[in-house]
Structures are given as C-alpha cells and as structure tokens.
Structure 1
Amino acid sequence: MSRQKITIVGAGNVGGSAAQRLAEREGYAIALVDIVEGLPQGKALDLAQAGAVCGYDSEIVGTNNYDATANSDVVVITSGMARKPGMSRSELLEKNTKIVRSVVQEIVPRSPSAVLVIVSNPLDAMTHVAHRVSGFPKERVVGMAGVLDSARFSTFIAQELNVSVLNVHAMVLGGHGDAMVPLVRYTTVSGRPVDQWMSKEKLEEIVTRTRSGGAEIVNLLKTGSAFYAPAAAAVEMVEAIIKDEHKVLPCAARCEGEYGLKGTYMGVPVRLGKNGVEEILEYELTAEEKSAFDTSAKGVQELCDEVDGILDAG
C-alpha cells in the first residue's frame, strides 16, 4: 500500500519537530525541505536512525530540491524569519511574504492537488499570501493558529485549576496575535463552563496571558520562538486532513460571508477533512465577543492589504 505523502518546508525547529511527530506516527512518506544545504538531509537521517530505537519505520527524505516533494497530499509551510524579542508580527511581513510566495510557487506545479497548511508568521497574512499565489480553492489553503492558541489557553486553565489539560476544551478565534479572541463562554472543564471554576478576574488574567503566549516564550528563550506546541498543532491539523477525520478545530480559514467577513482569512472553527476545510462553523457571539472579533479582523485585513501591495509590486 502506498504511503500518503507529507511535505514540510522549513527544517528549523518547528519543521523538524513536526517531522519527528509524523515519523513516530509511522505510515507516512515525509519530505523535509530547506534551502540550507545539509540541514534537512541531516535531520532526516537522524530521524530515520531514531526509528530503530523507537520502533517506527517511516519513510523520510531530506532535500534542498523541491522535486522530491512531488505528489504530496499535504504541504506544511513553516518557512520564514523567526520573531525576535521586541519584534512585532507586522515587522516580519515583507520578508516572509516573499519567502512564502517563493515556496508556494515551487510547490504548486509539483503537487497541484495538495492541501496547504501554513505555519509561517504573521500567520493569517501568510495564509492569505499562499491562497493568492497558489490559485488553489480556499478550502485547500488553511492556517495553523487557533489550535495553538487554544492549546495555550487550555494549558493555563489546567495549571490554574490543577486538573488534567485533557479535561479542558477551549476555543480561541480571531487573528493569531495580540487581538485574538479566547471564547470563555465556549470553554469548559469536564463539561462545566470555565467561568464556574474561577473568578472573572482570574479568567481575564489567563485570557491576557494567552494573547501574549508566543511573546512570553520568545522573551524566555531569548534567541528563538516556540516550536514544540506549534509543531504539535500543525500535526493535529495534518492528521485531521490525511485521515479525513472531520475534526472541528479553530484554524485560519478564508471567510466568504461567515462572521460578516468577505474574503478575509481569520481564525474560526472549521471542520477539517481530506479536502481541507469542509465547513466553517458559525458560533453565536455576544455583542462584546463580536466587537473583539471585528477588531481582530480589522487588524488582519490591514496586514493582508499590505501583503497585497507587496505582491502587486513584485
């Protein structure tokens, strides 16, 4: 039986960690791509050798050549400049726009039926870039944002309550940045609404910490940004697609009328299956939640407008 093929572009910390998680799942053909000579080849060889210890027999190749990515079912794009302490997401915009554009231009002719999962930052804007450059249907271009943000929200809640994080089910919408919208009303701990577990003040502290979750890690690491959790979030999306799980996850998807948006990539609940985004689910929002969501959408749209200017300029 032929293995389903997954390409990961960018063999840095996020890409390498995602490749490891997928290799340990076994059953996939994995192509790890990077422009740095020797980096993807070395990581692929290292991962292959780990299989002898960990008990997996995955097919994994490291390459500087996109030809090895041909006929991929899913392509995860992690390429781009990492955020540095004090650097805003918008500062990454021009450089990462050009990087993502070049990657997509290499991928599309070789894997015209693939689903693209974007991890590069600024996330929502880079997903917009990938959609525009690829010419793919909007269903097959999706960004990893809400899965990570919801994981952070869940983790902080679990730590505060001293319960298993597996008991917490959280939902975070909006752009992947300081204006994200953690939905307290749709967050539960063992089926009980989270606001019945702790005070409003404590919840607000956790919401604020979630919004700056990425920056907190950047400031702690000093020389890099988060990679274990982003890689895990990307892999959850990849497997929902590859396995046709119809899993409901918060992802950056292109809204065409949903939530009052038109042609905007935003973090919203979607059902993921083999063709990518099968459906965008519209949650009922209070006036306060909708206002926060619209504020987040405005910020994302401004970035996307700037991105369009960069792309139009060549």
Structure 2
Amino acid sequence: MKISVIGIGNVGSTISFVLAQDGLATELILYNRTRDIARAEATDIQQALALTSYRLIVRDGELEDTAESGIIIIVASAPMPKQMQNRSELLSHNSQIMRTLIPPLASYSPNAIFINVSNPVDALTYEILQIARQHTDQIDWQQVIGTGTLIDSARFRDLLSTQLGIHPLDINAYILGEHGDSQFAALSSATIGGEPINADPLRQQMVEDAKHSAWKIFQAKGYTNYTVSLAVKLIVRSIVEDLRYTLPVSVLMEGYCDVFNCCLSVPCAVGRSGVHRRIETRLNEKEVLAFQNCARTVQQQIQQC
C-alpha cells in the first residue's frame, strides 16, 4: 500500500521511520514544505531499511506525488512554542494549513484514508472531513480518523499497569472525548479479564497524570514523538492488515450520546475501509455529561475555524 506522510518534523519523521521499519507500506512518500528536509529523512530511512528484512520505496515528493495513496497521514503543523498551554492555540494557523493541503490531497487520492495527528486533533479532523467532502464525493466519514485519545489511553493504561501488576494490553480502559483538557476516563466500563476496575480517587488522579504527562514531556524537549508514532503505526497496521482492532480514535459523531456535528474519540473497529463501526460504550450519567461537555468544547473550536 502507498502511504504518504505530510509534514516531516520531529513527529512526521518518527512516524515515517516506524512505518518503514515494520514494512507497512510498499511505497512511502514524505512531503514537507522544505523539501530538502523530506529528502534527507527519506534517504536516511531508505538506507536504514538495508538492515531489515523489508524492501519498500521511501522517497520525498510534492503533493502530486501522493496520488493514489491508500493512507495519508497529516502531521503538518504551525510551530509549537514551548510556552504553549493548550493545543487549541494552534487552531487558527493549522486550520489555514488544512485549507491549503487537503483539497489537492483529496483530489489526488479520493479513496485514501486520512489519519490526522495535527492539533487540536478533534476540530481539525472535522475540518479535514468537511474540506475533503467539498473536493471529492467519494470520501465518507469512515475515511477520516484522528489519533484522538488513543495516545491518552495508552498513557492511562501504563499508569494502571504499574498499580495493578497487569500488562497494559490486558487492561480494557479508555480515555474518551476530546484529546485535550476536557477528556475523561470511562471507568464505569473499564475491566481487566472481565473484572471491573473501581473508580477510586487514586485512579481518578491517574487520569489527570496521564493528561498532563504529555505537557511535561513537551516542556522539556519541545515535542512528543514516540507514543504518538506508535499510536499511528497501530492504526495503520489495523487498516493495512484489516485487523479490526478496537481503538479510541476521533471520528464524526452522528448521535453518540446525543452528540452531532463534531469529531470526538470513541472506541472504533478500524480496518481496511477505515472505521467499520463506532462501538457504543456503556457510560454512566456522569460520563455522558462529560462526553457532552467535550462536544461543546470541540464545537466551539469548529465555529472558530
């Protein structure tokens, strides 16, 4: 499958490397506004593949070189100042970037699945869907996915794993809603081996710790790249191999908890066609209200777009 990565900074280059390392593409196109950077990264990754068992083409290109991509990964973003306090601060500039990039990308690859990493993830995922629909009648909501709270859920499960003494992959617990300050843990439906995970104060604090851990990393080194790159690789693998993994990703809401017209993270079965179905997680009344609060936050951002 041909995969294109749009935006080759610290995150885009790491994503490109992990995808190539696992042989998840037959051809990998790296696009960056400064093409010399994309060319250097593509050459570096291509040469690194000589130390693996995979053979694929990794090259830089212009937007037209992304034509007929099966997956397009959006990582392009305005620079993130270290003093940034909220992802929504990137909204105005990144929305303008999407209005420039998405029309040609959608036209060149009308059947592609878009994976959005750029922040604020939920509002921009919605924006990407709306822009793409204006330029091709072939794209549906299932084809536009934001990484959303998949990253936050991984961080939360890592904290739970330490406390419970159980591998994170065996913990069924999701952070849902906005990839931002209003996110929440669906603890009422969280389990390990069918056993409920109690929502005690310590675990509620873990939700806050998971939420703020990214900011601590960001303030120290100016970006986060490893967790998000492996999250993208998990989504891509589920698509390429049609695995139908259940992943908390940001997709269009059409009545989930009475929420419409925005993108938020809910558990979704992800496979070759993109999102095969949204899974209706059982939420208690407090969690439903938290989900609706996330929707109001993201809808305000969408209105600003």
SS of the aligned residue for 2:257 comes to: helix
Aligned match of 2:162 in 159, 163, 176? Answer: 159
Q: What's the CA shift for 1:23?
A: 0.7
Residues 190/13 of structure 1: CA separation in 2 closer, same or farther (3 Å cut): farther
How many residues get paired? 298
1:1-314 matches, within 5 Å, as 4-26=1-23, 28=25, 29-63=27-61, 65-87=62-84, 88-135=86-133, 136-195=139-198, 200-221=200-221, 224-307=222-305
CA distance in 1, matches of 2:22, 2:6: 19
Q: Distance in 1 between matches of 2:189 and 2:37?
A: 42
Structure 1 contact 139–278 (Cα < 8 Å) conserved: yes
- Give deviations 1:41-90, integer Å, cap 9, x for gaps: 11111111111223332221122x11211100010001002433332222
**Does the CA-based 8 Å contact 1:177-1:212 persist in structure 2?**
no
**CA–CA separation in structure 1 for the residues paired with 2:190 and 2:283:** 13
Q: CA deviation at 1:102?
A: 1.2
Alpha carbons 1:84, 1:225 under 8 Å: kept: no
Task: Give deviations 1:254-276, integer Å, cap 9, x for gaps.
Answer: 01112211121111111112221
Aligned mates of 1:177, 1:17 — CA distance in 2: 22
Q: Which residue of structure 1 aligns with residue 136 of structure 2?
A: none
Work out whether residues 116 and 145 of structure 2, in 8 Å CA contact, stay in contact via their aligned partners in 1: yes
Out of 267-276 and 153-162, give the one that drifted further.
153-162
Query: Segments of 4+ in structure 1 off by > 4 A?
Result: none
CA contact (8 A) 2:189 2:281 kept: no
* Partner SS state of residue 39, structure 2: helix
Structure 2: distance between partners of 1:70 and 1:171: 35
For the Cα contact (< 8 Å) 2:24–2:236, is it kept in 1?
Answer: no
Q: Distance in 1 between matches of 2:184 and 2:38?
A: 36
Paired residue secondary structure (1:38): helix
Quick one: distance in 2 between partners of 1:59 and 1:192?
Answer: 46
Give per-residue Cα distances to partners, 1:135-182, cap 9 Å, x unaligned.
031111111112111111111212334443333332111011011111
Identity rate, percent = 28
| TM-score, scaled to structure 2 | 0.92
In 1, the alpha carbon distance for the partners of 2:190 and 2:28 equals: 35
User: Offset at 1:27?
Assistant: 5.2
The amino acid across from 2:186 in the alignment is L
Gaps of 5+ in 2: 134-138
Work out the CA distance in 2 between the residues paired with 1:187 and 1:225. 30
Q: Contact (CA 8 Å) 1:75, 1:116: kept in 2 or not? A: yes
Is the 2:188–2:284 Cα contact (8 Å) retained in structure 1? no
TM (norm. structure 1) is: 0.90
C-alpha distance in structure 2 between counterparts of 1:273 and 1:208, whole Å: 31
Q: In structure 1, what is the Cα distance between the partners aligned to 2:176 and 2:24?
A: 32
